[in-house]
Amino acid sequence: MEIPNKRNAHNGSWLLALIFTAILGLAIAGFAHQIGPDRPSFAFWLNGLLMVWGVGFYRSKPLQWRNGYFRIRPWEASVYRALGVPGFQRFLRRVNWFNREIHLKTGRRGMSYLDQAIRQAEQGHATIFIIICGFTVFAIVQYGWGTAWWYMLFNVLFNGYPVMVQRYNRTRLQRVLSRR
C-alpha cells in the first residue's frame, strides 16, 4: 500500500481541475454550436457555465493571486456606493442569489475565515470576468458590437458587480478588524 504524499495530492488536484476545465470547454463548444455564439442566450449561459466551472475549479485547485490585488484603496468604498453596489447586494439577498458559504462566524477567527471566503469569491468572479472579456473581444471581431454588448452586460451583472460587492464587504470588514 502506497502512502500518499503531498506531491501526488498536488498533481491529483491539478488533474481534477484540468479534467473539469476540459469538460466545461466541451459544454461551451456544444452550446456555441447548438445556440450560436452570436445570441444573447449564449452570452447568458456562458456566464452560468463559467460560474459552475469557477466553483468546481477553485474547489479542486484554488489559485492564489498576489496580495497586492486584494489591497483595498481608500477611495473604493465611495465609488462602490456611487455605482449602487449596496443596492445590488440587497437585491442578491432578496432573490437568494448569494454565496451561502460566506457568512460571519463569531470572534477574530471567524472574521479571518470570512475575509478568506470573500477573497476566494472575489478572485473566482474576477477570473471569470477576465475570461468573458476574451469572449467579448472575439464577439466584437466576429459579430460586431451588438453581440458583444450582451457579453459585456451579463459579464458586468454576473461577475463585475459581484467583484465589487466582495471588495465593498472587505472594506467594511477591515474597518471592524482595525477597531479591534
Q: What's the angle, vertex CA 112, arms to CA 108 and CA 113, rounded to 5?
A: 115
pTM (two decimals): 0.80
* Per-residue confidence in pLDDT tens, the chain, 180 aa: 444 444 445 556 778 777 878 888 888 888 888 989 999 999 999 998 888 887 777 666 566 777 788 888 889 999 999 999 999 988 888 876 666 566 666 666 777 788 888 888 888 899 999 999 999 999 999 999 999 999 999 999 999 999 999 999 888 888 777 776
Question: Burial code of 51-90, b = ≥16 C-beta within 10 A, e = fewer?
Answer: bebbebbbebbeeeeeeeeeeeeeebbeebeeeebeebbe
**What CA–CA distances, in Å, run from 71 to 9, 46, 66, 97?**
31, 29, 10, 26
Tell me how far apart the alpha carbons of residues 172 and 102 are, in angstroms, rounded to a whole number: 14
Side chain identity, residue 71: R
Q: Specify the long-range contacts of residues 133-137, CB closer than 8 Å, at least 24 apart.
A: 135/37, 135/43, 135/46
What count of Cα atoms within 13 Å lies in the side-chain half-sphere of residue 1?
A: 1
Three-state helix/strand/coil letters over 37-65: CCCHHHHHHHHHHHHHHHHHHHHHCCCCC
Q: Residues in the chain, how many? A: 180
What pLDDT does residue 15 have? 80
Q: Is residue 105 a contact partner of residue 113, using CB atoms and an 8 Å limit?
A: yes
Tell me how far apart the alpha carbons of residues 147 and 98 are, in angstroms, rounded to a whole number: 28
